[in-house]
Amino acid sequence: MRSARPLRTMKFGGTSVGNAECVGRVAALVADEAAGAEVVVVVSAMGGVTDMLIRAATEASRGDREDWKGARQELARRHREVADTLLYAGEQAQVLPRLAEEIGNFENLCSGFSLVREITPRGMDALSSLGEKMSALLVAAALRSKGCAAEAVDATELIVTDDHFGNASPHFDETAVRTRDRLAPLRRRGLIPVVTGFRGATREGVCTTLGRGGSDYSATLIGAALESDEVWIWTDVDGVMTADPRLVPAAHIVPEISYREAAELAFFGAKVLHPKTIQPVLKRQIPVWIKNTFNPSCPGTRIGAAPAGARPGVKALTTVSKADLITVSGRDRLSFAELAARVFQSLSRDDIPTLMVTQSSADNVLCFAVHDADLLHVRSALEKAFELEILHDYIAPPEVVPQVAIVVLVGENMKGTPGISGRAFGALGRRDINIIAIAQGSSELSISLAVNAGQVKEAVTAIHEEFEL
């Protein structure tokens, strides 16, 4: 189904819908855009709500009734305030009972967790994504109060996923069909769909989530399913910056980056994009714009095919500030190939991402970095995989260098630009920052340097200055 007007899928993040004033601003932006384009909206929960829901669930599972009652009040207060400020009486009469229903769901789930003293992964997904249901109801109602026909849609009706609760993977083709079918009648009637980010459902209809920050991914999944002309991700910064502005205040906006650069930045922790955001739009080469809700006149960053003739060299930096380096040595008992095969097989069972990998084949040593949150898991997976060898002292137990940060230099055109690693080493050496490990892929899209976690800010600032980003 195509209309003559361009189709834009627009996602608004948590800060963008953080309070009544913000929701009002979002409704005005959407109403403006809807004058010249067809718009499909995707929304996150109000800022801080997902964290609050997850905390409440954890407290409930410890049997603590009082703490989650506090969260219930806060949840009701924040959403009610938006409804009171922005909605006409008729809209309030419709929306308030639906918000109350979600708060009832929150109570039921928390009571359940507190009774059994346990959180089930599927219960957690249903609970942690309630904020998206509530914000979608409010944004749709705020649009109607401005005279724009709009309807809240639960993405459990659109996005079909596997049952990997907490970090589900979508089935792309089924998602495309369901999304088109479910939204077609709304679009025909000229209604703006306001879809919950973050949520999906299994084929059986059980609610799942796409991982923290997953609403960006929801937006590109829906954008691709509808063959949108563009996907706009509205957030609280002017676009993709040369580094995380919280670490490097001198960071500035990059007007244009390639899909591969954006995917690399997102994989290595640039919070502005969920790691899987780029995947769905690649095939149709749908451009993705990152824009600032609080500064809409700034054009933002365009993510698209690699622009011809772009300046060669480093485009942006990103960091993973909490990582660990793990070293496994096969001694002379295991061939390097066998060692590597068994290490990666044990990681792949639980889908654990490695952030960098280095090897020393002569010494039969494999070294790799993982997110600190995965460390315990990785350690026990490796100890299990090499249980017998460790028991008989054929190989040593895995060694861990904790509290490491990884600084990643990203740029499509670093390839063929000599001396980049040397300059990065020099910049760190002059500040007495020791490089614990280094990895550079043959695609030369990124160079990763592991440094002491306490020096990450200094390291990223030094490299940012060195390359005059």
User: Segment near ligand ASP (CB under 6 A), from 44-52, 67-75, 114-122, 249-257?
Assistant: 44-52
| Residue 264 in the binding site for ligand ADP (CB under 6 A) | no
Residue 316 contacts residue 446 (beta carbons within 8 Å): no
User: Segment near ligand ADP (CB under 6 A), from 50-58, 240-248, 389-397, 419-427?
Assistant: 240-248
- Token duo for residue 158: 């659109």
Taken as a whole, the chain contains a residue count of 469
What is the residue whose two structure tokens read 């028991």?
Answer: 391
Compute the C-alpha angle 146/151/155, nearest 5°.
135
Alpha carbons 71 and 357: distance in angstroms, whole number: 42
Interacting residue with ligand ASP among 214, 239, 269, 411 (CB under 6 A): 214
**Sign of torsion over alpha carbons 444, 262, 402, 456:** positive
From ligand ASP, Mg ion, ligand ADP, none, interface partner of 197 (C-beta below 5 to 8 A by class): ligand ASP
| Residue 213 in the binding site for Mg ion (CB under 5 A) | yes
User: Segment near ligand ASP (CB under 6 A), from 179-187, 207-215, 248-256, 415-423?
Assistant: 207-215
Beta strands in 129-282 (DSSP E): 150-153, 192-196, 199-201, 207-209, 230-235, 256-258
Compute the C-alpha angle 241/273/464, nearest 5°.
25
Interacting residue with ligand ASP among 215, 242, 346, 364 (CB under 6 A): 215
Residue ranges in 298-317 that form contacts with ligand ADP under rule CB under 6 A: 316
Q: Interhelix angle for 89-116 vs 49-61, to 10°?
A: 30
Residue ranges in 93-152 that form contacts with ligand ASP under rule CB under 6 A: 131
Nearest-approach distance from CB 247 to ligand ADP, in angstroms? 8
- CB within 8 Å of 22: residues ≥ 6 apart: 15, 16, 293
Which residue, 200 or 269, is less far from ligand ADP as judged by CB? 269
Interacting residue with ligand ADP among 53, 240, 347, 451 (CB under 6 A): 240
| Residue 252 in the binding site for ligand ADP (CB under 6 A) | no
| Residue 277 in the binding site for ligand ASP (CB under 6 A) | no
Provide the 8-state DSSP code for 211.
-
Which residue, 268 or 386, is less far from Mg ion as judged by CB? 268
Which amino acid is residue 113, in one-letter code? F
From ligand ADP, Mg ion, ligand ASP, none, interface partner of 196 (C-beta below 5 to 8 A by class): none
Q: Give the largest Cα separation in the chain, rounded.
A: 77
Alpha carbons 286 and 264: distance in angstroms, whole number: 18
- Token duo for residue 35: 């004058």
| Residue 14 in the binding site for ligand ADP (CB under 6 A) | yes
Element (H, E) at 41: strand 38-43
Residue ranges in 175-214 that form contacts with ligand ADP under rule CB under 6 A: 213
| Residue 446 in the binding site for ligand ADP (CB under 6 A) | no
| Residue 235 in the binding site for ligand ADP (CB under 6 A) | yes
User: Segment near Mg ion (CB under 5 A), from 73-81, 209-217, 248-256, 345-353?
Assistant: 209-217
Compute the C-alpha angle 210/211/217, nearest 5°.
55
Which residue, 152 or 241, is less far from ligand ADP as judged by CB? 241
Q: Among candidates 355, 380, 350, which has minimal Cα distance to 367?
A: 355
| Residue 244 in the binding site for ligand ADP (CB under 6 A) | yes
| Residue 131 in the binding site for ligand ADP (CB under 6 A) | no
Q: Which residues bind ligand ASP (CB under 6 A)?
A: 13-14, 44-45, 50, 131, 197-198, 212-215
Q: Which residues bind Mg ion (CB under 5 A)?
A: 13, 213
Q: Which residues bind ligand ADP (CB under 6 A)?
A: 13-16, 44, 213, 235-237, 240-241, 243-246, 270-272, 316, 318
